[in-house]
Amino acid sequence: MKKNVRRPVGLLWKAAPFCLFPWMEGCGRAPAFSILGSFFPAWLVCIASGIILALIAYWAFTQWRIASEIRPAIVVYPCLAAFFAFTLWLVFFS
């Protein structure tokens, strides 16, 4: 027959979660832009800029007549937009 043995819960185990609070501040300084009085997160601005740069790249590829050589376009252009967005984020906020 097993006896229920209670272990004493020390003060250390009770205070451990509170010791983590200084490292839980996470987004102490989240980069944001004020656009017409509204604050937008910087990642949103980087994604929009990446899409615009991908559209400019598409226009340049059509002007150079190499857009028909890029296959599969449905994969390449979103990847190009992500590349531009990540690069902008690293250049300006890293």
Tokens of 26: 């996470």
Nearest-angstrom CA–CA distance, 52 and 77 = 11
What is the tens place of the pLDDT at every residue in 37-82? 777 788 888 999 999 999 999 999 999 999 889 889 899 999 999 9
pLDDT digits (tens, 9 = 90+) for 4-41: 666 556 666 677 676 666 666 665 666 777 777 777 78
Omega into 72 within 30° of 0, i.e. cis?
A: yes
Q: What is the pTM of this model?
A: 0.64
Residues 6 or more apart from 81 whose CB is under 8 A from it? 47, 50, 51, 53, 54
Domain boundaries, the chain: 47-94
Question: What is the rounded radius of gyration, in angstroms, for the C-alpha atoms of the chain?
Answer: 25
